[in-house]
Homo-oligomer: A and B are copies of this chain.
Amino acid sequence: MKKLNIIKIGGNIIDDELQLEEFLYALATLNEPFILVHGGGKLATDLATDLNIPQEMIDGRRVTNAQTLKIATMVYAGYINKNIVALLQKHKRNSIGLSGADANLIQTTKRNPEPIDFGFVGDVKPDGINIAFLKQLLQLGITPVISAITHDGNGQLLNTNADSIANTIAVSLSRTFDTQLIYCFEKNGVLYHPEDENSVIPVLDWNMFQTLKSEGVISKGMLPKLENCFQALEQKVGKIGIINAKNISGFINNKTHEGTSIQ
């Protein structure tokens, strides 16, 4: 099977113009095909603040009301997505920016408002991914750059978790590609001690994950990300990494062993 990388880039890198351009230059010059999924970063929050639109949080998670959805659509599917594509084009990587509505790429279901109403949020499943279109783009040599705005097929855009999109796309494509799923962010990997960048866990398997979870070493935002990673491994995703965005070339080219490998 042909190799395919599904790369997720997190908000902190997107917020930093210089880091983002360096990361995109590294991606543009990769010899392997990839799909890029990007999150939002602070830009959407900043715009909401500038427009005096209050952001409601429940259990530490943002509620997407109509105004927040509008901002997310403008920032993620517009500003960030198009600037990423323009920078990849600059470095001669032919790419295309897509939301889930485009070519019916990702159809999601609005989350049940019970018990908590998170508003215009869509949950993604493997059968909602338009695999055929992704394959057509890759065959044409065009790199998909996907923002985390999806649609319900009935005219409604929905805000969606970018990690889940990357994960679900990797699972969906693992029937036809030798997939590698890589989460890139500003830290060096999954850390034993969150404040110590040198405490990277190089290899993490299911048993070790259970132990570290019970010891409280892994907690908060990293928990659902890792749960999803192990599910993806079960569903035939070939290799999963959680790495510093700076190390993307080395990781993909198997030249460095930095970051955390989920096995």
Contact = CB atoms under 8 A, between A and B. Distances in A.
Interface stretch (A1-9, A74-82, A173-181): A74-82
A173 to B, nearest CB: 19
A70 B77 contact: no
Contacts of A79: 70, 73-74, 78
Interface residues of A, number: 39
A157 interface: yes
Interface in A76-95: 76-79, 81-83, 85-87, 89-90, 94-95
A79 B32 CA distance: 32
Contacts of A208: none
- Copies assembled: 2
Grouping DSSP codes into helix (H, G, I), strand (E, B) and loop, the A interface class, with mixed when no group exceeds half, is: helix
A225 to B, nearest CB: 26
A154 B82 CA distance: 13
B73 A157 contact: no
Contact of A78 (B78, B96, B136): B78
B78 A101 contact: no
Nearest to A94: B104
Contacts of A97: 99, 101-102
9 contacts: A51-B51, A82-B101, A82-B102, A82-B149, A86-B151, A86-B157, A94-B104, A95-B102, A96-B103
